[in-house]
Amino acid sequence: MMPLQLKDASTESRSGGLGPEPPLHLLFLALDVDLGTQRGEAIHTRELARFLAARGIRVDLVTATPLGAVPHLGAGVFHHTRPSSSDWAQVRLCTRLAREGESHAIYERRLSPKIAFAVSRLVGIPFLVEVNGVEEEAAILGRTTRPVRRALTFPLRRRIYHAAATVIAVSDPLAALVRDLHGLPQGRVVPIPNGVDTDRFTPLEPAEARARLGLPAGLWILFVGNLVPWQGVETLLEAFRRVSMSVPEARLAIVGDGPLRGPLEGLARELQIANRVYFPGTVPHEDVPRFIGASDVCAAPFTQMRNARIGLSPLKLYEYLACGRPIVASDVPGVRELLDGSGAGILVRPDDPGALTKALVSILNDPLRARSMGVRGRGFAFDSCSWARTAERLEGLLRAAVRTVRKGGRAS
């Protein structure tokens, strides 16, 4: 089948002169993501779709979100709930959406983007893949893939990645790993980091934010994130025990949920710091700026395991930066570049509670330095880390893929 063509609604010169870009219709597949949750994958998907639409792109977004639980996504984003019956049912739905929406490209956020691959073949449009992690994460969480299935899956995934117009990874190390693992050409895998909404995440007055949240006075350390092994929250709790001995007014808030929440609450009791540690659980994403605003310093104590290999582009770091708070974070790829580039915090050895303690105490005891770090972080986030900037970079790759097909190149 011939690929769908861009409708020429622009004033672009027929002789190749520059003018407004023609309209772009995107089929965005996040088939394992429930937008009703507050997990990073849901936030990433919502924000990316919203900011792509803000650039004038029509986005047909397909997710696992139950009907009635879809959040407001803004103008230009049209949500569709995937069928749960089978892959073929998903292929049928997405093929119909691509044809009815006159999609020009497909973007799938998945480690094995087989639905995008199939629809690309059926409709004749290019597809791009977004990779956010590796299979080893399942093993870390105790979920294993049978060796036979893994042996069958890898060759298929390799074929799919070679068929993709572009593979997008959220960090430079992950891009290099995917490139080497699947034997992809240098330019086929492109790193595009996550971002932050710099209008929603802005600096707040700490005392006012604490009053709104009902938090007592004190010097607050904050962690925001999913409570899973590679976040390093156990190290943060041990460091906080030591911090509280030299800074009696210190308090710790751990915002988020996950499989380790129970064990972490137990560890806080064991370390005899439970009366100074607040576990509010998962909060709506729109409330996260207030928690960051209530803090004096924010922590990102990532472990060496997993993170040193694939690198990171953590939403929490961008949000900390945009809210103008100093950061203490593990020295792992992705995080290192952010803090070195912004000058907004201190890097420490991963899994080292002593180093984490020293850095946290130094910031809590030096409010002028903390404020200076926060100001630099806010400026860096505004200039370099917005979702608007991420969407702009992605649009460039989407249009390049569409132009290739229009000139007679392969869709997949």
pLDDT tens by residue, 99-152: 999 999 999 998 889 999 999 999 999 999 999 877 654 444 444 555 555 667
14 confidence band (pLDDT: 50, 70, 90): very low
Pick the CATH number of 206-384 from 3.40.50.10860, 3.30.300.30, 3.30.200.20, 3.40.50.2000: 3.40.50.2000
Buried b (16+ CB within 10 A) or exposed e, 17-28: eeeeebebbbbb
* C-beta of residue 202 within 8 angstroms of C-beta of residue 322: yes
Beta-bridge mates of residue 59 = 26, 77
Q: What letter would DSSP give residue 228?
A: S
Residues 193, 169 contacting (CB under 8 angstroms): no
Residue 15's Cβ-count burial label (10 Å; 0-12, 13-18, 19+) is: exposed
What is the fold, at CATH topology level, of the domain defined by 25-195+387-406? Rossmann fold (3.40.50)
Return the closest-CA partner of residue 31 out of 83, 103, 95. 83
Give domain limits for the chain.
25-195+387-406, 206-384
Q: What is the pLDDT of residues 47-78, one digit of tens each?
A: 999 999 999 999 999 999 998 899 999 999 99
Q: How many CA atoms lie within 13 A of 70 on its CB side?
A: 18
Same CATH fold assignment for domains 25-195+387-406 and 206-384: yes
pLDDT tens digits for range 173-202:
899 999 999 999 989 999 999 999 999 999
What is the model's pTM?
0.87
Whole-angstrom distance, CA of residue 71 vs CA of residue 35: 7
Decide: 115 and 90 in contact? Cβ < 8 Å.
yes
The 8 Å CB, 24+ separation contacts for 141-150 are 141/228, 141/229, 141/259
| Residue 358 one-letter amino acid | K
